[in-house]
Amino acid sequence: MRKVVVVDGTFLNGKYKGTLLTSLAQDGNFQIFPIAFAVVDTENDDLWHWFFTQLKILIPDDEDLAIISDRHNSIGKAIRNVYPLAARRICTYHLYKNILGRYKGKDAFRLVKKAARCFRMSDFTAIFEEIEAINPALHGYLQRADVQLWTGVHFPGERYNLMTTNIAESMNRALSNARGLNIVRILESIRVMMTRWFSERREDARSQPTTLTRGVEKLLHGRVTAARDLTVQRIDDHHTEVKYGSSSESLNVVNLVERKCTCRRFKREKLPCVHVIATSEYNNICRISLCNPYYNSAYLVSAYAEPVMPADSAQPVPEIVANQLCLSPSIRQQPGRPKKNRMKSALEVALQKKRPRKEHTCSRYRQSGHNAKTCTM
């Protein structure tokens, strides 16, 4: 796997209460890969420290490791204590929700999203100065949030294409029904789902005929199409300039030997950008050789090689486990009537109110999917 781990906690909504902590990664086919689950009383300093201590047995501390989470203070403390070498990143989706709830202005919000996704420092600086001019209060909030935690250009580690904890939210959604059960049945539901996932993905990985995974092939296919519109000019033995048409504003310099492109996307994602693809085709170099090995189908097969087996009922329970007293979770009942429906964030409400894009139709025959210029009827 790419060394990016997403951690999150979600409430158990049944009779027994408690919190489910999850640790997840993403395989080379952009699918959720579960690493660890734990049921604890609540999210606090001690329990997050315990969770990361157990996780460290499987995933050692490493300078190349990146951990993505929300802005929970206990998570930050635990990472600093247990994983001092790893780089932490906060989920940009949670940051956007906070901004929508506190600050007004669609233009400033749009600029924040662009700043978070920037690949070049010059682009980020220009956008950040524009945010300061439009909304100084928002600019101050983003500085206090620490630009190293939410921007791509300042992030000291390797995060590839992962910027949010969306895979954790997807896992919580997949376990929404199981979260109302008791602990034993929750863990069994997780085991059943993991057994099914690993079995289906193992067969799918073995059946992929390409060197790269299916998800990466689909991503690169779109970039190959866009690369055909670019103009390539050799500079020297190692450097090549790539631009769109005659515009000098879109000019980028590519060095395939050092695997660099001035757009910085190639370095960040470890996948060829459109400029690198155009250069590789110009030099008759296979673009597959320029991809990170994490995206190979062979790595995907290895990821799901081990099956997730059910518990062996004939196997005796260790005495230390059988004699362990399991107490009820120590939780504090919130005042008021319990809410059955989840409160939607301002970002979710805004997305629901967003008007769908109008579908273009042919002016001759009123059919969708093409226009009058491309009509073949």
Report the pLDDT value the prediction gives residue 202, as an integer from 0 to 100. 94
The pair phi, psi for residue 34, each rounded to 5°, is -75, 140
Determine the pLDDT at residue 255.
92
- Decide if 360 contacts 373 (C-beta within 8 A): no
Which pLDDT belongs to residue 240? 92
Whether the per-residue pLDDT at 346 is higher than 60: the answer is no
Q: What mean pLDDT is reported for the chain? A: 87
Distance CA 8, CA 148 (A): 20
With a pLDDT cut of 70, the percent of the chain lying above it is 89
Going by DSSP bridges, is the β-strand pair 32-40/260-261 parallel, antiparallel, or unpaired? unpaired
Q: Which amino acid is at 121?
A: M
For tokens 């059960």, name the residue: 181
State how far the Cα of 193 lies from the Cα of 234, in Å rounded to an integer. 52
CA–CA dist 123, 152 (Å, integer): 12
What's the pLDDT at 344? 60
Superfamily for the 4-91+164-203 domain: Ribonuclease H-like superfamily/Ribonuclease H (3.30.420.10)
Contacts 24+ apart (CB under 8 A), 332-338: none
Q: Distance between CA 27 and CA 25 in Å, rounded?
A: 7
Rg (CA), the chain: 24
| Stretch 337-350: mean pLDDT | 59
Enumerate the CATH 3.30.420.10 domain ranges in the chain, comma separated: 4-91+164-203
pLDDT surpasses 60 at 345 = no
Q: Band of the pLDDT at 7, cuts 50, 70, 90? A: very high
pLDDT of residue 343: 55
Rounded CA gap, 351 and 347, in Å? 6
